[in-house]
Amino acid sequence: LRILREANDAIPGEVISQKISNLEHVIRRIFESVSKHPGRIGEMERFMEYYLPTTVKLVNAYRDFDSVGTQGANISSAKAEIERTLDTINQAFERLLDDLYQDAALDVSTDASVIQTMLKKDGWAESDFTGGMKNE
């Protein structure tokens, strides 16, 4: 995150800067999620060993290309490719984050369903069991 922040600070472009900021934000949230749920660390192996280092490499390459000064066809093409790739990476990392919360979401959904069913069964909510509310 520190390396991404430093690269982002060095790159003046507003569009690329927003993409990198989004990336920093989602990575921070991924780390927070794994910190709260360490049992999920096994799912992070590829993220930590390939995706994150390669993303940092691409952002640093963009920073290097941007600092060259001249924007020939090769540099412009490489920068455009990195920008498109950062969009893909941001989407993928958001999905990864969402997947990290899959079990928690399932638990909440199950709890909500059970309590609704019990409230209906006990007559405290509209119910298919009794046809109405308790004390009607």
Joined tokens for residue 111: 């709890």
DSSP state of 37: -
- Total-model pTM: 0.76
Average pLDDT, the chain: 88
Q: Given 3-state DSSP classes, what are the helix, strand and coil percentages for the chain, each rounded to the nearest 5?
A: 80, 0, 20
Q: Could you tell me the residue ranges of all domains in the chain? A: 2-100, 103-136
> What tens digit of pLDDT does each residue of 6-15 get?
999 999 989 9
> What tens digit of pLDDT does each residue of 49-105 get?
999 999 999 999 999 999 987 789 999 999 999 999 999 999 999 999 998 887 666
Split at pLDDT 50, 70, 90, the class of 128 is low
